[in-house]
Amino acid sequence: MMAESLDSRLSSHAAGGGLAAAVAQTIRELGLAAIKVRDTIADGGSGAHLGDSHGEENAGGDIQKELDVLADRVFLEAAQNSPIAFYGSEEQDEAVALKADAPLAIAIDPLDGSSNIDTNVSIGTIFSLLPVEDAHRADTSKVFLQPGSRQAAAGFFVYGPQLLLVLSLGADSGTQAYAYQPSSGGFIEWKPALSIAPEAKEFAVNASNYRHWDPTFRAYIDDCLAGSTGPRGRDFNMRWIASLVADCYRILLRGGVFLYPGDARKGYAKGRLRLLYEANPIAFCVEHAGGKATDGVNRILDIVPDGLHMRTPLVFGSTSEVESVGRYAADPAAAARKPLADAAP
């Protein structure tokens, strides 16, 4: 059977009219933008040094790389060609107002995994499409202050050995992966129904932050590391790519848990990742693939943002493992006494 193309999937979605048609049109434009970014990466940036510092800091205090700035420009152009009223980007302090009457706002991480740009490791783009309420059109700052459960669609591109799009068009649509096919110039269905295994065999965490974590989180990781000799009673493998998109895609394919908690470093009380354009779209795709996403305790998609660049601790992946992390947070002593797999929910 021929794989369905992204194009035909978006045409069926657009037939729903209204917001669905606007979503379909926007995702087509984002796909074209991602191909441009992919081509720039593939030809080495036409002489530009994509991993070099651009010399400025973004709103989160990160030094921008040349590719961060280039990708932001390319995706802003895509948003300008789409039914988008507001463009809220990691690389811009404030949201940019576009078409006044358009039905959607986009929150975007134009280039995720910036520290990997010059190491030829997979990097990506993460996006979240939100409906715009008429009451908020006059006040840009309010447009993005909606919980992630209100997203109309969300997804991410991975610039890796393949250019992939992971996409969810909503709870009833599940989560799919599409692969760019240079020979046809389009995206074809690659994984029609992503489904996260309920049990995790791998965890993903930046363990260099161990000394900055609180004792509860340390206890959870200690027990994973103790493996079959500890209270968990089984061994875990560890992976950390340091590109959220690539860690998430692996977890969508073979289960596992991703953890970026808050820690004691200056500016890291709520971890490193941003709610609107990292945690929310990832949580949307993960939940619609049968997984869970929390800030350690609370569901990510229920959090009401307090600003475009708000940070949140992030835990996502296999349902039973994300729940285990929550049990450690609630009662570390009890959680550590017996294998969590046997603990009451």
Nearest distance from residue 207's CB to Mg ion, in Å? Answer: 19
Contact between 178 and 187 (Cβ < 8 Å): yes
Give contact residues for ligand FBP (rule: CB under 6 A): 62, 90, 109, 112-115, 206, 242-244, 272
Residue 80 contact, options ligand FBP, Mg ion, none, Cβ 5-8 Å cut-off depending on partner type? none
Is 222 an active-site residue? no
User: Which residue, 238 or 334, is less far from ligand FBP as judged by CB?
Assistant: 238
- Catalytic (active site) residue 139: no
**Annotated catalytic residue 62:** yes
177 binds, among Mg ion, ligand FBP, none (CB under 5 to 8 A by kind): none
Q: Is 111 a catalytic residue?
A: yes
115's contact among Mg ion, ligand FBP, none, with CB below 5 to 8 A by partner kind, is: ligand FBP
Question: What is the per-residue DSSP string for 243-265?
Answer: -HHHHHHHHHHH--EEEE---SS
CB closer to Mg ion out of 197 and 276:
276
18 or 267: CB nearest Mg ion:
267
Q: Give the orientation angle of helix 244-254 with respect to helix 280-287, to 10 degrees.
A: 10
| Residue from 29, 66, 68, 263 carrying the catalytic annotation | 68
CB of 274 to ligand FBP, least distance (A): 8
Q: Note if 112 is an active site residue.
A: yes
> Position of tokens 């089984």?
234
Q: Measured from the CB atom, is 271 or 305 closer to ligand FBP?
A: 271
Least Å distance, CB 112 to Mg ion, is 3
8 Å CB contact between 148 and 275: yes
CA neighbor of 250 nearest in space, from 236, 238, 260: 238
> Which amino acid, 24?
A
Is 90 labeled as catalytic in the residue annotation?
Answer: yes
Binding site for Mg ion (CB under 5 A): 90, 109, 111-112
DSSP string, 15-38: TT-HHHHHHHHHHHHHHHHHHHHH
Beta strand 237-238 pairing with 63-65:
unpaired
CA 252 to chain centre: 12
Q: Which is nearer to ligand FBP, 117 or 143 (CB)?
A: 117
Q: List the helix and strand counts (H, then E) for the chain.
A: 9, 15
Closest distance of CB 211 from Mg ion, Å: 24
Measure the CA–CA gap between 218 and 208, rounded to whole angstroms.
12
Active site residues: 62, 68, 90-91, 109, 111-112, 278
